[in-house]
Chain A
Amino acid sequence: MSIRNFKWRNLYLWFVFIVLYAPIIFLIVYSFSKGETMNNFHGFTWAHYQDLFADSRLIAIFLDTLLVALLSSILATIVGTLGALGISQTTRAITKNTLLSLNNILMVSPDVIIGASFLIFFTALKIPLGFGSVLLSHIAFSIPIVVLMVLPKVQEMSRSLLDAAADLGANSWQLLSQVTIPYIMPGILSGFFMALTYSLDDFAVTFFVTGNGFSTLSVEIYSRARQGINLEINALSGLMFLMALILVIGYYFINQYSSRHRHASTRGRRK
């Protein structure tokens, strides 16, 4: 009874697993297919990848997407880290809770609300739609996740560490750069990383604030997918799958790094 039960359970899990991955594998398989549709596999070819690398518009969009992602995640990490430090400094519980609730608004709001309200905001301030508005939006929606990743690290840090450094004559810049920042570095790294993936993945917010001249990969995929099947998109998905794989591995190593870091510091404290 229990053996049969066990098999059924695993079968179900495998079923869900296959359903989740089949469409992705399907996409990548057809990126190597001769022909124009995703209906029958017509033999192996690299042609769609060659088309992809010859498509200068797409490469420019790819570089723009990368630039927005890097810039926005760096800036969001700076603002978010300072924000987390500030939140941990607040002494009154009500201030802290208000700040945390405000911080979470952009995390729970649906993307269309963020996109539409940012569009009104940029128009009201007469900020032209394009690279600048997309960058500002990406910074804005990445900040809360950075705060959430950094804040636990800041709260874990003991006050006496800062007091000791101050007693030994460190000024406030030294306190920040040589005591606080190194201590909370794992949190900052995972925050940066999350911000990066948020930015690379975003479609809805960008779609609202992008205007006419500027585009990111997600927006471009959307407009091409509306025109129907084009195996160049399959080739693109193959590359983006590789990129996602690299990001997952990167995230894994950041986590490993921070857990090793934590172990090292607790061992140090025990001595």
Chain B
Amino acid sequence: MQRKQRLSRQTAYFIPYVLWIGLFVIAPVILLVYQSFFDINGHFTLGNYQTYFSSNTYLMMTLNSVWYAFLITLATLVISYPTAYVLNATKHPQLWLLLIIMPTWINLLLKAYAFIGIFSQAGIANQFLQFIGLAPQQILFTKFSFIFVAAYIQIPFMVLPIYNSISELNPSYVNASKDLGATSWQTFSKVIFPLTLPGVKAGVQAVFIPSLSLFMLTRLIGGNKVITLGTAIEEHFLTTMNWGMGSTIGVILIIAMVIIMSLTGGSKRRTKRGLTK
């Protein structure tokens, strides 16, 4: 009897949370899908999807966005895997890890702003190029600068999951492989890498999905040379006010996200700080 009463009280405590799920998780997604069936004048239509799938511009933009996200993820992975690997071998891996993660605590826009200064015409990057005897280049507002800055921002999110899986790797597998006569490369490609693949997948997921939607970097650093799905959504919602088309692209982005999550196995949530596992 008493327990029953306690349970009903518990249900009452639960109401705000359930309300939150209904209002801020389910309703917005439904509204986004619903909105994608309306044109700019508020008439119900399938036209947005028709436009999307018959227009080269939209399809190329989507392909481009996926391609850039792929390049960013690849660059991040190539830098992060060795970092995590070396990190694991140091005397104080936790301290190094903290130092690698620390920059994520600095506001993303400030980091982007720093690169506006570094990559500018007379900036430190061009001064360096001149110093080693090369002609100064236009670096800011290029595709290269977009990929560079995006990778810079994402590195800690890739290092963390890979480090976690490397640190869980039992060293006796590596020793066994060496004892059985494997070369360093064989040990790495047949033993270490497959065993740390879950960490790599988690990292790829944590980097790829946000890379599809980094609209502030395409504006500040890419100089609108790169249009990602995120840029297109922002443009449609806040500039051209065509919410229907924006929502359609949003639905495409959600589908892309689900595909990536199913390829990399489940939702390994990315906590922004990386300090919680």
Which A-B residue pairs are the 6 nearest by beta carbons? Answer: A83-B17, A38-B117, A86-B14, A117-B28, A140-B24, A110-B213
Interfacial residues of chain A within 51-77, with CB under 8 A of chain B in the complex: none
CB <8 Å contact, A240 and B106 = yes
Q: Taking A23-B111, A113-B254, A218-B109 as contacts, is the C-beta distance between A107 and B28 under 8 angstroms?
A: no
CB <8 Å contact, B6 and A172 = yes
Q: Choose the segment among A42-50, A96-104, A260-268 that binds chain B (4+ C-beta atoms closer than 8 Å).
A: A96-104
CB <8 Å contact, B276 and A194 = yes
B133 at the interface (CB under 8 A from A): no
Interfacial residues of chain B within 226-277, with CB under 8 A of chain A in the complex: 229-230, 233-234, 237-238, 243, 246-247, 250, 253-254, 257, 261, 267, 269-273, 275-276
A98 to chain B, nearest CB (A): 10
A198 to chain B, nearest CB (A): 6
Docked Cα-Cα span, A225 to B30, in Å, equals 35
CB <8 Å contact, B120 and A111 = no
CB <8 Å contact, B16 and A117 = no
A188 at the interface (CB under 8 A from B): no
User: Inside 8 A of A185's CB, which chain B residues have their CB?
Assistant: none
CB <8 Å contact, A116 and B124 = no
A4 at the interface (CB under 8 A from B): no
* Interface 1/0 per residue, B78-100 and A, CB below 8 Å: 01001100110110000010011
Q: Of B5, B21, B113, B118, which contacts A237 at CB under 8 A?
A: B113
CB <8 Å contact, A108 and B2 = no
**Total chain A interface residues with beta-carbon distance under 8 A:** 85
CB <8 Å contact, A204 and B216 = yes
User: Inside 8 A of B110's CB, which chain A residues have their CB?
Assistant: 24, 27, 221, 233, 236-237, 240
Q: Of B17, B122, B250, B273, which contacts A112 at CB under 8 A?
A: B250
CB <8 Å contact, A20 and B103 = yes
Identify the interface centre among A147, A198, A204, A218: most chain B CB within 10 Å of its CB.
A204
Q: Of B79, B82, B210, which contacts A110 at CB under 8 A?
A: B210
Docked Cα-Cα span, A24 to B109, in Å, equals 11
Q: Of A89, A103, A105, A226, which contacts B10 at CB under 8 A?
A: A89
Question: In the complex, what residue of chain B is closest to A136 when comparing beta carbons?
Answer: B24
CB <8 Å contact, B213 and A112 = yes
User: Inside 8 A of A37's CB, which chain B residues have their CB?
Assistant: 117, 120, 122
CB <8 Å contact, A79 and B20 = yes
A195 to chain B, nearest CB (A): 11
B43 at the interface (CB under 8 A from A): no
Question: In the complex, what residue of chain A is closest to B32 when comparing beta carbons?
Answer: A117
User: Inside 8 A of A201's CB, which chain B residues have their CB?
Assistant: 107-108, 272
Question: In the complex, what residue of chain B is closest to A197 when comparing beta carbons?
Answer: B273
User: Inside 8 A of A26's CB, which chain B residues have their CB?
Assistant: 114, 117-118, 124
B7 at the interface (CB under 8 A from A): yes
B63 at the interface (CB under 8 A from A): no
CB <8 Å contact, A109 and B96 = no
CB <8 Å contact, B238 and A248 = no
A108 to chain B, nearest CB (A): 5
Extra inter-chain contacts (6) besides given A38-B124, A217-B107, CB under 8 Å: A27-B110, A108-B261, A121-B31, A221-B107, A229-B116, A244-B105
Question: In the complex, what residue of chain A is closest to B149 when comparing beta carbons?
Answer: A23
User: Inside 8 A of B254's CB, which chain A residues have their CB?
Assistant: 109, 113
A13 at the interface (CB under 8 A from B): yes
Q: Of B7, B79, B99, B250, which contacts A89 at CB under 8 A?
A: B7
Identify the interface centre among B23, B87, B108: most chain A CB within 10 Å of its CB.
B108
Question: In the complex, what residue of chain A is closest to B17 when comparing beta carbons?
Answer: A83
- Can you sample 7 A-B contacts with CB below 8 Å? A83-B16, A86-B10, A89-B14, A110-B209, A116-B247, A200-B107, A203-B109
A222 at the interface (CB under 8 A from B): yes
Docked Cα-Cα span, A143 to B21, in Å, equals 10
A181 to chain B, nearest CB (A): 12
A120 at the interface (CB under 8 A from B): yes
Docked Cα-Cα span, A30 to B222, in Å, equals 23
Docked Cα-Cα span, A103 to B18, in Å, equals 10
CB <8 Å contact, B21 and A99 = yes
CB <8 Å contact, A86 and B120 = no
* Interface 1/0 per residue, A12-31 and B, CB below 8 Å: 11001101110110110010
* Interface 1/0 per residue, A230-266 and B, CB below 8 Å: 0001001100110010011001000000000000000
A118 at the interface (CB under 8 A from B): yes
CB <8 Å contact, A117 and B267 = no
CB <8 Å contact, A23 and B152 = yes
